[in-house]
A = this chain, B = another copy of it.
Amino acid sequence: MADTDPLAAERLQITPPHRELLDQVLDKWSLEVLNQLCERPSRFNELRHAIPTVSQKSLSATLRRLERNGIIVRHVLSSRPVAVEYRITTLGKTLRHPVDVLLDWAGRHLPAIEAARRSYDEAG
C-alpha cells in the first residue's frame, strides 16, 4: 500500500500554481530552448540560430522566464565584447524526463491522431 508510490492511480490535481508552472515551462519556445541547452550551453545568438523561427523578443522573454524559474542560468563572460552564455541547471535537467515522455507519446500517437482529424474533417 505504499502511499509513497510515485504516480499512484489517484486523480490528477491541477492547482493554479501547477498550471502556471506548466505554462511557464512548456510553451513552444521554452521546449526549444531546453532542447538546445540540454545539448550544450549556448549564447544568445547561437540560440537564435538554432531556433530560426523565434523572434529576438520572444527569445529574450523566454530566457528571462526560464531563468526566473531556476530552469536555466545566465552566465556573463567578462570577455570583450560581452558574451553571455545560458546553461541548463540541475533543476532544469529534471524537466527532461517529463518532456521526453510527452514527446514519446506524441511521436507514438501522432499517426492515429492525424487519422482521427481526417475522419472528423471528412464527416463534416
Chain A positions within 8 Å of B, measured between CB atoms, are 6-7, 11-14, 17-19, 21-23, 26, 28, 31-32, 35, 38-39, 67-71, 91, 94-110, 112-117, 119-121
Contact = CB atoms under 8 A, between A and B. Distances in A.
Residue of A23, A69, A113 with highest tally of chain B CB at under 10 A: A113
Given A7-B100, A26-B102, 20 more contacts: A13-B103, A14-B32, A14-B35, A17-B110, A18-B103, A19-B28, A19-B31, A22-B102, A26-B26, A68-B120, A69-B113, A69-B116, A70-B115, A91-B112, A94-B105, A95-B105, A98-B102, A101-B101, A101-B102, A102-B102
Number of copies: 2
Given A28-B23, A35-B11, A102-B22, A94 B109 contact: yes
